[in-house]
Structure 1
Amino acid sequence: MPGAARYDDIADFYATGWTDTIDDPASVRLLDLLGPVAGRRVLELACGHGRISRELARRGAGVVAADISEALLEKARAAERETPLGIHYIHTDVTRPGVLAIGTLGTAPDSDTVFDAVVCSFGLSDIDDLEGAIAGAAGALRPGGVFACSILHPCFPGGPGVSGSWPGDARYHVEGWWRADGELSALRRQVGANHRTLSTYVNTFRRHDLWLDEMAEPEPATDWAAKRPDAAKFPIFLVMRCVKNGKPLAR
């Protein structure tokens, strides 16, 4: 069973800052690239307090969601008790070999079936073992299934008060975990993030037979950009859609 997670200590802060209103450009584009989910089985990695999982369930998906933070999962389960959507939440480390394999998802309904889609909303940079996470995601997908993710753009250099994807005293090509110091980067000041180059992400997908099918670089919300005009000059978000085996299911 996973130990304490970085998000355990800030669960209240995170849940308050990221509500069920799905109107931020990156999340909107992520769900758009994921495509119609009604009647499909979807697995969310690093689900946090469940905001994306709940939206997927409202759109008709059968959702299983996993996270390493028990504190965030308690909030997700509380929301499920209040408004049941049929989401099954699992406390686990998704990078462990076999955790997401067929038939190993605990008491999840129909846990012996593979998934039509796997989604990860801003979670990959929080996961130290990218290789393990992507191996698990690919292993949980049926051939032709979709893996969709959103991340802070690996090429985002930051701006006044806003930390970029890598430390200000380092270089883009130097990868590793670090803790932001920008006064406007409230979340990453507390939990840090893993910086990886764009090629690292794409090559990792390819090693696990996830072929990049479409990508998007949504602009930030107007009010965010107005307060951070220098940072808004650069690409901030990256959303990617990959297909297992390169042949998508009919949408």
Structure 2
Amino acid sequence: MTPTRARYDAVADFYASGWPDAIDDPASLRLLTLLEPIAGRRILDLACGHGRITRELARRGAAQVVGVDLSAALLERARAAERDNPLGIHYIHADVTTWSTPDQYDAVTCNFGLSDIDDLDAALATAARALRPGGLFVCSLLHPCFPGGPNVSGSWPSGGRYHDEGWWQATGELSSLRRQVGANHRTLATYLNAIRRQGLWLDELSEPEPSRDWASGRPDAARFPVFLVMRWVKATAQP
């Protein structure tokens, strides 16, 4: 079945140019740290976009890297990069809420993708099925508790409440991506409980601070937790 058109198809050029291969943002760096050792591991990257994280995983010695995304436009850029500089990455055009694989991986990653996915439970079920027992699920996202600041949209609409969940589009002048593609806001409890229901156990939780450059231009927003990065472990046996 051909996946439906993705929100990111319309902004593929903007997104790919704004998030280049250089991995220097605190959340992505922390995600990679929580995944170590990467060398020799078989890794599945859900909502891989234009392949930024998949390429870094391959460069760090992963034995196998597979990326899955709904956006054909972003995957076109990922595949073009693979053709220009082959790293052995395999990309799949699919909806992660309905896609399934018979393969099992040592780790599954999702870098800032969960809030883009409308059916959270189905996406997490895909991640859990793809993991071998004892495998890692490592994800990053805008902190569900981040309230934003002047010209910076938070995790939920400025006129709403933290407990009001749902899809919305940002209005903050400095929140350029979320003004275009929107996001699903969910409470921290919703994320933690949804992941736990898939037989995964929280191993480490991190709240990396934003870069100094980001914080200096947004001092009010930087007072709050901005990013959330989590490492979960798949149970080795049913309780």
Q: 1:56 corresponds to which residue?
A: 57
Name which of 129, 151, 157 aligns with 2:141. Answer: 151
What's the CA shift for 1:100? 2.4
The Cα RMSD (Å) is: 0.9
- In the TM superposition, structure 1's runs of 4+ consecutive aligned residues that sit over 2 Å from their partners are none
Q: 1:70 corresponds to which residue?
A: 72
The answer to whether the 8 Å contact 1:210/1:246 transfers is: no
Q: Distance in 2 between matches of 1:100 and 1:201?
A: 21
What's the CA shift for 1:34? 1.1
Q: Distance in 1 between matches of 2:65 and 2:128?
A: 17
SS at match of 1:7: helix
Matching residue's letter, 1:90: I
What's the CA shift for 1:101? 2.9
User: TM-score when scaled to structure 1?
Assistant: 0.92
Q: Distance in 2 between matches of 1:210 and 1:125?
A: 19
Stretches of structure 2 lacking an aligned partner (at least 5 in a row): none
SS at match of 1:169: coil
Q: 2:91 corresponds to which residue?
A: 89
Q: Does 1:175 align with 2:169?
A: no
Q: Does 1:193 align with 2:183?
A: yes
Q: Does 1:139 align with 2:129?
A: yes
Q: Does 1:37 align with 2:38?
A: yes
Q: Deviations over 1:66-125 (max 9, x none)?
A: 0000000000000000000000000000101xx2231xxxxxxxxxx3100000000000
Q: 1:8 corresponds to which residue?
A: 9
SS at match of 2:7: coil
Matches within 5 A, 1:229-244: 229-244=219-234
Q: Distance in 1 between matches of 2:114 and 2:179?
A: 17
Stretches of structure 1 lacking an aligned partner (at least 5 in a row): 103-112
The answer to whether the 8 Å contact 1:211/1:246 transfers is: no
Q: 1:105 corresponds to which residue?
A: none
